[in-house]
Chain A
Amino acid sequence: MHEREYEASPEAPPAETGEMELVHPRTFIGKYIWSQDAKVIAIQYAVTATAIGLVALVLSLLMRLQLGFPNSLSLIDPESYLQYVTMHGMIMVVYLLTAIFLGGFGNYLIPLMCGARDMAFPYLNMLSFWVYLASVLLLVAGFFVGDGSSGAGWTLYPPQAISQGTPGADGGIVLMLVSLAVFIIGFTMGGLNYVVTVLQGRTRGMTLMRLPLTVWGIFMATVMALLAFPALFVAVVMMLLDRLLGTSFFMPEMLGMGEEGSQRGGSPLLFQHLFWFFGHPEVYIVALPAFGIVSDLIATHARKNIFGYRMMVWAIIIIGALSFVVWAHHMYVSGMSPYFGFLFATTTLIVAVPTALKVYNWVLTLWRGDIHLTVPMLFAIGFLFTFVNGGLSGLFLGNVTVDVPLSDTYFVVGHFHMVMAVAPVLVIFGAIYHWYPKITGRMLDATLGKVHFWVTFLGTYAIYYPMHFLGLAGVPRRYYAYGETAFVPDSVQSLNAFITIAALVVAAAQLLFLFNLAWSLFRGREAGPNPWRATTLEWQTPHTPPRHGNFGDELPLVYRWPYDYSVPGVKDDYIPQNVPPQAVEREPAADRGRGGES
């Protein structure tokens, strides 16, 4: 317990600039379709991302059915298995997770939590969403062209991705690459907005060190995305040229179908470097917003200040910086110089230090807190488990000698689904349960929420934990069927069937969640402005849901950090950020703990 209010200041500094001018739309279309309101854009982003994410979920179920019951069900053929692997990975990583964290939660929470009227550039923000939608449509179009979507795996390694014989090498890969380029353009528009709003658009009294960690996480992730996506953009453009014009950036001299190709002298490794220079920061682009949100969920629902706020901020910054110098640990088996492997193993293991610091701080925040096991809190605690689990198997894979035999086995699948898929998705669920009352004005049903949590949480363990053992047994990933493969023991098959059944159960639980979202929109309990009794600014808006402009006539002034929970001697167990020290209601008996006013 901290003994006083943390650095609360008696008054807010004077305003540096005038108010932002907002364009208030008059028509329905201006309000909800071509909307320039960050909150509407956030919902557009989130709904689109969820919709495409459900497509990817269905793809994964089809793959699981094939793996679990290879001889009894013939839903998909080997080509479509590869195509589904590719689309599932790409959609989940880029079009769902990146879009929902930055475009969805970023748009909704940054202006509200910073105390801004809107994003800095509302028009650009609107464009960002429509360009994103175009990229999603382009991606989906890949399913319907001639030979279907690309089947090169989500990493799209050339020369395979653009060579004849790979599914989708004619049309699917082109649409995939164009879609990625369009996504990057759209994301850049949004990303510039988020960063400028956090840096330059905060309200009076909101210093960077008073930002909720959610904003810190999203902010740092956006900065990283702005620096990492260019590498993917370049890789995508070069590969498009290789495919369409016959240039040889990535294409070495090859024999295909017994004939010598016309391309020669290119470097497939160059693609891998460019891809992973994007791909590794991408992991943290997804993870850092999750880190931030989970910090706020834990502090709010444990009614306790976050442990080591400054270190949490610095850890976010350091993780962001380090993530740019670890990319080649994805390439230990690519044929790089072994010295490279040594260097990148070292940097990779160093990332564990700030990450572990964050985990310790979350646990220490929970320690002796007044823990309310609400649905958001359950998901936050679930995240701690899956994240630590996935992080620990990451330590295995970070070492070259351990990675080489495990690479391309189910161990890797288990690891990254644990750390990068389940962990952030649990946070997304927690965040939706947490902020849904602000977005709609109604609570989500808690009973359904708890069922959803337990099935999802235990179910994901049932799915991904056995995969580690499959990997240790040497089962390779991306295989359509194992047949009579000598080194794959028979018992693998029963484990695969078990995993498939677990996956089906977890997927069914998501239907429950969707039902909850729809039902609560109309029938949910009225939430009121601040149902969780939280301190941050989004809960202090005059209207719920907040209207265009967020804060009514006057922007809030900020006097304190966002974690004044359970301050001794104060009547309520929380003090919102916009309450000045002189206005805090205190208990008469508690004169001793008033250090904050000195």
Chain B
Amino acid sequence: MADRRTSGPTLEPGWRGLVSDLASDQRAFKGVPWSKAMMWLFLLSDIFIFACFLVGYMQVRITTPEPWPSASEVFALHLGGRDIPLLLIAIMTFILISSSGTMALAVKCGYERRRLATGGLLILTALLGASFVGMQAFEWTTLIHEGVRPWSNPWGAAQFGAAFFLITGFHGTHVTIGVILLIVMAAKVVRGSLAAERPGFLTRRRGRYEMVETLGLYWHFVDLVWVFIFAFFYLW
């Protein structure tokens, strides 16, 4: 029984081993910095928020007696004389998923201590994110011009507009916050604050390259949530 309290993993097989590893000394998750653990927890909490939003959307979609507007018509992009369904959304989705790729590269370069490459990739990620938000703003404007409001729309159930603006707005806010954080982080990386472990402006916590990864977790999460919103809102 003595090895259950030692610091490293106990390597006991099965359920018992899992529990005794997690319950072991000092850290439940070995080698995981505090900020990373916090980000995972925060994301877990945030998942519940988005899940509740989506469940709420499904529920009102079921309860409303009026017809639900057809997503492929509402979200069509008028291009070259004809309507192409879901084109804009496809582009937006592609851009956001690509930004996850650049983010992952930034994390890799960060751990290799390549300052400029990390900063550049972070800026590229921020640009992709910003263009996503820009296209979302374009989409919102188009729909508003067509008469979609949170309380009504020309095609059917009023909950369509309400759920659309609420859920994409909440997600867009997440992306916008992410873009701001990416820019701040890029500035820190390029200035060398992370390499020199300078304390942060507000929290006085020392900069470390793990921060890039922690921010990356957030960014990937925002992308992943978009996949669900895309599936439930645009494809259903």
Contact = CB atoms under 8 A, between A and B. Distances in A.
A343 interface: no
Interface stretch (A9-17, A69-77, A165-173, A494-502): A9-17
Given A199-B27, A206-B25, A23 B204 contact: yes
Contacts of A266: 60, 63-64, 159
Nearest to B1: A7
A196 interface: yes
A247 B158 contact: yes
B25 A13 contact: yes
B157 A265 contact: yes
B42 A188 contact: yes
B151 A265 contact: no
Interface stretch (B44-52, B75-83, B130-138): B44-52
Contact of A196 (B5, B38, B159, B203): B38
Contact of B46 (A230, A237, A246): A230
A207 B49 contact: no
B15 interface: no
A264 interface: yes
Contact of A227 (B38, B44, B159): B44
Nearest to B47: A230
A160 interface: no
Interface string B25-54: 111111010110110011011101101110
Given A121-B34, A238-B166, A204 B25 contact: yes
Given A123-B202, A234-B52, A267 B5 contact: no
Contact of A265 (B7, B49, B53, B159): B159
Contacts, number: 164
Interface size class of A (residues with CB under 8 A): 35 or more
Contacts of B64: 248, 264-266
A200 B27 contact: yes
Interface residues of B, number: 51
B38 A120 contact: yes
Contacts of B59: 267, 270, 273
B4 to A, nearest CB: 7
A203 B30 CA distance: 14
A465 B14 CA distance: 49
A207 B25 contact: yes
Contact of A188 (B4, B45, B53): B45
Given A192-B38, A270-B56, A265 B26 contact: no
A9 B27 contact: no
B5 A265 contact: no
Contacts of A208: 22-24, 28
A52 to B, nearest CB: 25
Nearest to B53: A234
Given A227-B48, A262-B151, A267-B63, A200 B162 contact: no
Interface string A408-432: 0000000000000000000000000
A264 B34 contact: no
Give the 8 A-B residue pairs with the shortest CB-CB distance, closest first.
Answer: A265-B64, A208-B23, A230-B48, A247-B162, A13-B7, A234-B52, A123-B203, A230-B49
18 contacts: A16-B7, A23-B204, A121-B34, A121-B35, A191-B45, A199-B37, A209-B23, A227-B44, A230-B51, A234-B49, A238-B166, A247-B161, A249-B159, A249-B162, A265-B65, A266-B60, A266-B64, A270-B56
